[in-house]
Copies of this chain bind each other. A is one copy, B any other.
Amino acid sequence: MKSIVIFGAGNVATHLFHAFSKARDFRVIQVYNHRQEGLENFNSFCKTTTNINEVEPADVYLIAVKDDVIPAIANSIRYKNALTLHTSGGVSLDVLNDFPNSGVFYPVQTFSQYKPLDFNLIPVCIEVKVEEDISFMEKLAGNISNRIFKINSEQRKSLHLAAVFVNNFVNHLYAEGEEICNKNNIPFEILHPLIEETAAKAIIMRPEDAQTGPAKRNDQAVINSHLSLLDPEQQKIYKLLTQSIRNLHGKEL
C-alpha cells in the first residue's frame, strides 16, 4: 500500500480523496490545506493539517490547489522525495522542478461540490518528468480511472484550451440562452433536453457532422430576424459564430 498526501480541500481535492478511498494500492494518509475551512470533511478519515511543516513523508504528493497557488505550495514543501504531482491542465510541469520526481495528474472534468461523479469514467492525463516513473504513475491513475492518457506538456496546453471552448465558452452560451429566455418570459427549462441532446450527439458523432441551423444552411431571413432581437454584444457573438460556421462548412456569408 503506497501513501498519498493531498494538498488542497476544494472540489478537485475532495473528488480525488473519495476516488482514492476505494483504491486498492494507494491510501491517502493526510490532507493539507492553508486554512482549517474545508478540512473538517477529511478529519474523520485521515490526518489533516494547516501547517505545511507538519506534512508527512509519503510516496505521492498530490497538489490539487488553485493554479496560481501551486508554485507557493511547491516551494514550501520540505520533503522532496515523494513523486510530486499537480492536477492542473493549465500549469507547466516546470513549477515542480525542485522535485527529482515530478509529474502532472490532470483529471479532465469539471467538479462540483455536491454532485457525485464516477471517477472511473473521468479521463486522467498523465505526464512524468523522469521516464522511469511512468509505470508507477499509470498504476496510480489506473487505481481510480479506466481512462488514462499520456499527454505531454505541449499537448496538455492545447487540451486545456480545447476544454475552455467546450466547457467555459459553451457554458457562457447557455447563459446567453437563458438571458434571452428570461427577457421574454420563457422558462429556460424548455431548453434543457436540447442542451443534453446536443452534448450527447457530439459524443456519438463528429460535432462538425452534427451541425444544423440557419448559419449552416445560410438562411439570411432567419439570421436577420434573429439579429434584430439581440443586444449589440449578443449580435457580435451571433455574427461571429455564424460566420465561423459558414467558413467551416465551405460557403461565404
Contacts and interface: CB of A to CB of B under 8 A. Distances in A.
B172 A211 contact: yes
A121 B190 CA distance: 10
Interface stretch (A79-87, A136-144, A152-160): A152-160
B184 A170 contact: no
A186 interface: yes
B245 A197 contact: no
A161 B180 contact: yes
A46 interface: no
Contact of A157 (B154, B167, B201, B225): B225
Chain B CB within 10 Å, residue with most, of A167, A183, A196, A211: A167
A67 interface: yes
A207 B123 CA distance: 24
> Which bracket fits the contact residues of A?
35 or more
A172 B123 CA distance: 23
A51 B166 CA distance: 46
A95 interface: no
A201 B117 CA distance: 12
A252 interface: no
A29 to B, nearest CB: 29
A200 interface: yes
Nearest to A181: B162
A213 B110 CA distance: 10
A52 interface: no
Nearest to A206: B178
Given A155-B184, A198-B199, 6 more contacts: A158-B180, A161-B230, A165-B174, A172-B207, A175-B248, A195-B203
Counting from the closest, the 5 A-B pairs by CB-CB distance are A168-B213, A174-B207, A199-B199, A158-B184, A175-B207
Interface of A: 67-68, 90, 108-110, 112, 115, 117, 121-123, 125, 147, 149, 151, 154-155, 157-178, 180-181, 183-187, 189-204, 206-208, 210-216, 219, 222, 225-226, 229-230, 233, 236-238, 240-241, 244-245, 247-248
